[in-house]
A and B are shown apart, each in its own frame.
Chain A
């Protein structure tokens, strides 16, 4: 299927950057800034130093207060960089939300009283529709609201929601009955029953989620904020204590003076975990956005966070682990029959069969024999029926049949044909390896078996291997019998499987795992999946699924691709990892900042403290400024990492921890030493001029 996507917008699109820059300034409003307490305190620091600069201008007009001015300027920049990061992360979502909003404009809907296409309708505004109303939607119309098709079938373009331009079929009954407001009917007409209040449709909640308007802080985000807040409070206290300490010390030593306001504020801002606090909102928003780029809508941030914790994945066999249909893999003749003879018979028997299995037999046979036997027009096609479970072709008086083992054997024996003794073992062997045997006969004599086989999707084995290394159990759910299920499970490398599964088995399995404390993720689309979806910790519904399934889920996959569950888990982990990595980095940075600022602030009081100036920074002023500048600049430098997320590596937790600790912990200690030194060199070069 050809896929046309909305052109992806990169985070660093010039228009987005401009918008984010403007937003960054708007966010300076203290009432908005308070949502991020750490940056709020930095802004207060900026205000204080600016006031002290202005006070100095008026009271001591002759003195230059360049140092105070520069510290103030960089403090403002620190806040702006933080706001910019958040605004930039929101930018992409906002752009997409704006386009979604356009398809939400009020339209007229044809309200009918009964599910008859001929019923009279009245035209009302779509914003007046109530759940339970019946609406007639004709070719070329926008669907006025979320609902279920109760009559008819139509081809619908869902590009407004999914970005996917290939139309899909929606019809009454079954699992393909849900329609979404804002999509367009391009052929036929349908009657739908409205299921959502105006303003609470899927489109509305999607817009809210993408815009971040509905974004509530997740429990983990709150806990991390608490830690950052506590650290900020302690550092505020540390800095507050420095004033009496320096006042006492300078009065005793008789030299130097108590640390001034700009120095104290600078030290505070450098110590406070500004790097992570500045990027924290951006990390969450960007994570949602990364999901969105993959056409996955999370209905809450909590769901993504839970995805990072998932340790059991329930995966439907068909569509997730295997391709939708079984395919012919081998021809096995019975003793005394030439393989070519079997292949030819199978080819003819399947020639007119356009089921996927039939097509795969033709495809496999075409590769094995040449020339292919010609099939004349007058051949009579015997289609598959549920009673006979046999299909085939009558050609030139000969009958070619293929079908289930017992069905063919019954048919052949009743017509007095020959059933070779070795067919039984051959059929059993195929069944034991998880395959499906398809027995072929010609003129009521059994020639052999076609081995039909589930074909694994490419790369699933490797994926499951990675998941296992990450500590996630994969469980395959299938309606197949145990034997078949076991064979496929072994081939795919899943940890466990549930065979002959009925819909409520899923629910029971989820409950069992949850009682043991596991976090369970699953995908589903049918109405009978809804209870299980509601029970699962992470529930991904396919967009082409039914309305109850979509409502029970907390994540919707617009592409309706069940394998994406794995990506959801990875992105969930990535968000947490990025938070952890930047927190570690931020705190580790403080070591170097202390070595920059403490000697600078106190060297006038105790000259011997110059020894602590391990970076050999050129002067107290440049030392403090360098630390403040580094502290500010590191924020925009890390924006790409915050938006992209720390690279995810599937490996056991212990190794992953060591790996990230070395990069972000040790890196966090070393980087600022280098950075501050470099900025200091630059500053002293500039002042020398």
Chain B
């Protein structure tokens, strides 16, 4: 019977938080320096300059938010087309030792949108359907590009908030180049090497067959270029695994150390962005305040999930099988490794998993779902999480500003009706998608047919699936036939809307505040780097999240948990 020692787990968590905070602080400063144009790594700088020449642009050539948004959409559209083509045609393309056929149009559409939007929702099993060319040149490339897109949007927003009286928010091509060359690429190389050292594989060999353990039947062992994809899968908060089992697979995540390291990679850049913002705004306290709000929510989520899983399943307990239920968890990670990974991957819109949420206790399953439904703001997806947090801050300062008798402002920028509109779009669009599609799924045959566990658990599965897609997380609850046409096609719509409408709204917000004049601050200004404001921000996030989804939680995980506890 696996046991867990809460005290040592807590000490471990505290140590991990200190490490991630320190690393995020340093990384945040580095990111700010990169986008400020102050980092020129040898070799890469030559590549940077020739790229600018090729694109016919330069860092001085800044764009308005509309130009920035247009380029961002154009770039993603091209990426989508390329990936869509590779997926359809992989049967005729090289590096396909398993001779996998091309994907069906519906699945190719779903996968292409999924990877372009940084969702990485997977309707396929990597090792059983995707060629090495697809994995390396298609999916891994998009892992870089979609993460960099998110980063660019966040940086444009930071510029908007920290500039004044200007029409421009940066140059998308320059930001994209710098994000990849100086941030994602070097970090991914280092991370790949570390993962290799832990036993993550990297080869282009076809799958091979081995004799089964003991008397079992022979087993097919899939291999491939895993490590190169694994690093960016985590760093770029993508989450689409090489293997279907994702980070629960020993070739993706072999050791307890690789597990902690993977969590570290998931959190690193999203947690760094508040500090980047602090650096760019010249107001580090503001960065700390945002980081603190995220951290408090993170620790609380960890605590609830940990406690729920530590308690185990009440039904099993009543059958004299007490303790942690390990079904769906990997023994080599134990409870803490599982809970930390699960909290992080859903707090950050990563979506990599090292355990199956479907097997968690209902409350345990509620935590990842809740974190996603809050809008992925607890660090959040690379760039998008920070941007959504700013949208919540806009709402929070709006109400708070009124309470002190001032028309609202944030970091000396007045929040007007346009900013409110954009912030509301950013915050509400994913939630609206979840509500609308959950409703549709429950009243259509195509929707209910995919549910493997009818009842409250089935409802959780549906809500989780739509939440994961709308917020570009990509993790699955499992237990839902996601490959069915209904979910594949609705997923395309949800992922595309959930990503690009908020993204454009964020850029519009950035452009609008960039044009504004900074208002001098003083005693009468609402301080936004205080404990009160951090608590208020958390309350706004929780209340909007909880009020929107409370009925679904009640009918799903809560009803299920209470049923288990009450023996219904």
Contacts and interface: CB of A to CB of B under 8 A. Distances in A.
Interface stretch (B222-230, B284-292, B437-445): B437-445
B13 interface: no
A665 B395 CA distance: 15
Interface string A571-599: 01110110111011001101100100011
Interface string B127-147: 000000000000000000000
B403 A612 contact: no
B421 interface: yes
Interface stretch (B168-176, B428-436, B480-488): B428-436
B551 A252 contact: no
A608 B532 contact: no
A311 B526 CA distance: 13
A422 to B, nearest CB: 46
Interface in B490-543: 517-520, 522-527, 530, 532-533, 536, 539, 543
B100 to A, nearest CB: 37
Nearest to B458: A252
Contacts of B455: 249, 252-253
Contacts, number: 207
Please classify the interface of chain B as helix (H, G, I), strand (E, B), loop, or mixed, using the class held by over half of its residues: helix
A248 B442 contact: yes
A591 B543 contact: yes
A326 B42 CA distance: 76
Contacts of B533: 657
B551 A581 contact: no
Contacts of B440: 244
Interface residues of A, number: 76
Contacts of A664: 403
B359 interface: no
Given A238-B548, A606-B559, A580 B439 contact: no
B525 A252 contact: no
Given A244-B442, A468-B523, A587-B543, A238 B458 contact: no
Interface string A58-92: 00000000000000000000000000000000000
B439 A241 contact: yes
B193 interface: no
Contacts of A245: 438-439, 442, 459, 551-552, 555
Contacts of B454: 252
Contacts of B526: 653-654, 657
A520 B184 CA distance: 48
A611 B562 contact: yes
A609 to B, nearest CB: 6
A170 to B, nearest CB: 38
Interface stretch (A223-231, A428-436, A554-562): A223-231
Interface in B393-445: 395, 398-407, 412, 415-417, 420-421, 424, 428, 431-432, 435-436, 438-440, 442-443
A656 interface: yes
Q: Which of A233, A238, A519, A591 has most chain B Cβ within 10 Å?
A: A238
A525 interface: no
Given A308-B406, A472-B524, A517 B551 contact: no
A246 B524 contact: no
Interface string A297-310: 00000000100110
A602 B407 contact: no
Contacts of B435: 234, 237-238, 240-241
Contact of A471 (B401, B415, B522, B547): B522
Contacts of B565: 608
Nearest to B421: A226
B213 interface: no
Q: Which of B395, B415, B536, B555 has most chain A Cβ within 10 Å?
A: B555
Contacts of B523: 468-471, 652-653
A472 B406 CA distance: 12
B402 A577 contact: yes
A309 B406 contact: yes
Contacts of A233: 428
A271 B543 CA distance: 12
Given A245-B459, A609-B558, A598 B550 contact: yes
B406 A573 contact: yes
Given A234-B432, A249-B456, A609-B559, A654 B398 contact: no
B562 A609 contact: yes
A451 B510 CA distance: 60
B566 interface: yes
A114 interface: no
Contacts of B49: none
Given A245-B439, A611-B562, A305 B524 contact: no
A657 B395 CA distance: 15
Contacts of B428: 230, 233-234
Interface string A131-157: 000000000000000000000000000
A661 B536 contact: yes
B563 interface: yes
A247 B442 contact: yes
A654 B536 CA distance: 12
Nearest to B448: A248
A241 B443 CA distance: 10
B405 A471 contact: no
B404 A227 contact: no
A621 B98 CA distance: 63
A68 to B, nearest CB: 21
A578 B385 CA distance: 32
B405 A608 contact: no
B442 A309 contact: no
Contacts of A244: 438-440, 442-443
A605 B568 CA distance: 12
Contacts of B518: 517
B405 A576 contact: yes
A19 interface: no
A665 B539 contact: yes
A242 interface: yes
B316 interface: no
Given A472-B524, A607-B568, A234 B554 contact: no
A234 B548 contact: yes
Contacts of B456: 249, 606
A606 B563 CA distance: 8
Interface string A459-492: 0000000001111110000000000000000000
A226 B520 CA distance: 27
Contacts of A576: 401-402, 405-407
A653 B559 contact: no
Contact of B525 (A305, A471, A598): A471
Nearest to B402: A580
A220 interface: yes
B406 A240 contact: no
A165 interface: no
Nearest to B561: A608
Nearest to B522: A471
Q: Which of A224, A233, A240, A599 has most chain B Cβ within 10 Å?
A: A224
Contact of A577 (B403, B524, B525, B536): B403
A608 B559 contact: yes
A309 B524 CA distance: 9
A406 interface: no
Contact of B424 (A226, A469, A661, A665): A226
A648 interface: yes
A233 B429 CA distance: 12
5 contacts: A230-B424, A243-B439, A573-B404, A656-B403, A657-B536
Given A234-B432, A241-B435, A579-B402, 9 more contacts: A223-B416, A227-B420, A234-B428, A234-B548, A469-B523, A599-B554, A608-B565, A657-B403, A658-B532
7 interchain residue pairs of minimum CB distance: A471-B524, A580-B402, A573-B405, A471-B523, A580-B403, A608-B562, A244-B442
Interface of B: 395, 398-407, 412, 415-417, 420-421, 424, 428, 431-432, 435-436, 438-440, 442-443, 448, 454-456, 458-459, 517-520, 522-527, 530, 532-533, 536, 539, 543, 546-552, 554-555, 558-559, 562-563, 565-566, 568
